[in-house]
Amino acid sequence: MTGYSVLSGGTVVSSTTTVRGDVLVKDGKIAAVGEFGDLPLDGVERVDVGGMLLVPGGVDVHTHIDSPMMGTVTADDFESATIAAAVGGTTTVVDFAMQPKGNGLLESLEAHHAKARGKAVVDYGFHMCITDLYPGAVGEFGEIVQSGVSSFKVFMAYRGTLMLDDGQMFDVLRQARHTGGQVCVHAENGDVIDRLAADLVAAGKTGPEYHEVARPPSTEVEAVRRAIRIARMADAPLYFVHLSTEGAVEAVAEAQSRDWAIAGETCTHYLTLGREFYDRPGFEPAKVVLTPPLRTQEHRDALWRGLRAGSLGVVSSDHCPFCLEEKRRLGEHDFRLVPNGGPGVEHRMLVLYGEGVARGRISLTKFVDLTATTPARQFGLTGKGQLAPGFDADIVVLDPQGSTTISAATQRQRMDYTPYEGWTVPGAVKAVYSRGELICRDGVFVGSAGRGRFVERAAL
Binding mask 78-97 for Zn ion (x = CB under 5 A): --------------------
Q: Is the peptide bond before 400 cis (omega within 30 degrees of 0)?
A: no
Min dist. Cβ of residue 320 to Zn ion (A): 5
Query: Residue 30 belongs to what H/E stretch?
Result: strand 29-34
CB of 74 to Zn ion, least distance (A): 10
**For residues 5 and 90, which CB has a smaller minimum distance to Zn ion in the complex?**
90
Give the shortest CB-64-to-Zn ion separation in angstroms: 6
Q: Which residues of 332-355 are buried (b: 16+ CB within 10 A; e: fewer)?
A: eeebbebbbbbbbbbbbbbbbbbb
Q: Is 212 in the site for Zn ion (CB under 5 A)?
A: no
Rg (CA), the chain: 21
User: Residues 407, 408, 413, 418: what is their CA dihedral angle, to the nearest 10 degrees?
Assistant: 80
Instruction: Find the shortest distance in angstroms from Cβ 62 to Zn ion.
Output: 6
The candidate with the shortest Cα–Cα distance to 390, out of 24, 16, 94, 40, is 24
- Is the Cβ–Cβ distance between 259 and 232 less than 8 Å? no
Cβ proximity to Zn ion, 47 vs 85, nearer residue:
85
Q: Between 319 and 412, name the residue whose CB sits nearer to Zn ion.
A: 319
CB of 319 to Zn ion, least distance (A): 8
Q: Under the criterion CB under 5 A, does residue 399 sit at the interface with Zn ion?
A: no
Cβ 318 to Zn ion, closest distance in Å? 4
Closest CA to 269 of 200, 201, 344, 219: 344
DSSP E strands in 58-188: the ranges are 58-63, 68-69, 72-73, 90-98, 123-129, 151-155, 182-186
List the x/- string, 313-352, binding to Zn ion by CB under 5 A: -----x----------------------------------
- With vertex at residue 305, the alpha carbon angle to CA 236 and CA 270, rounded to the nearest 5 degrees, is 80
The site that binds Zn ion (CB under 5 A) totals a number of residues, namely 1
Q: Which among 18-26, 147-155, 312-320, 372-380 is the span making contact with Zn ion, rule CB under 5 A?
A: 312-320
Give the helix/strand (H/E) hosting 53.
strand 53-56
Alpha carbons 88 and 290: distance in angstroms, whole number: 21
* For Zn ion, the closer CB: 95 or 318: 318
**Site mask for Zn ion (CB under 5 A), range 268-307, x = bound:** ----------------------------------------
Chain residues binding Zn ion by CB under 5 A are 318
